[in-house]
Amino acid sequence: MSDDEAERDRGGSGLPTGYELRETTPSVDDFLRLRREADMSDRSREAIERGLPNTTYGVHAVETGSGAAVGMARIVGDGGSVFHVSDMAVAEPHQGRGIGTAMMDALVAWLRGNAPDGTYVDLLADVDGFYERWGFEPTAPASRAMEVRTEEL
pLDDT of 145 reads 83
Mean pLDDT of 20-39: 97
Contacts of 89 (CB under 8 A, 6+ apart): 34, 35, 37, 38, 40, 71, 72, 73
Q: Report the C-alpha gap between 105 and 115 in whole angstroms.
A: 15
Question: What mean pLDDT comes out for the span 76-98?
Answer: 96
| pTM score over 0.85 | yes
Strands 120-123 and 82-90: parallel
pLDDT band for position 12 (50/70/90)? low
Which CATH topology does 3-152 take? Aminopeptidase (3.40.630)
The predicted structure's pLDDT at residue 70: 98
Q: Which residues, other chains included, contact 37 with Cβ-Cβ below 8 Å and sequence gap of 6+?
A: 89, 91, 92, 93
Cβ–Cβ under 8 Å, residues 123 and 86: yes
Instruction: Look over the chain and give the mean of its residue pLDDT values, rounded to a whole number.
Output: 90
pLDDT of the residue at 49: 98
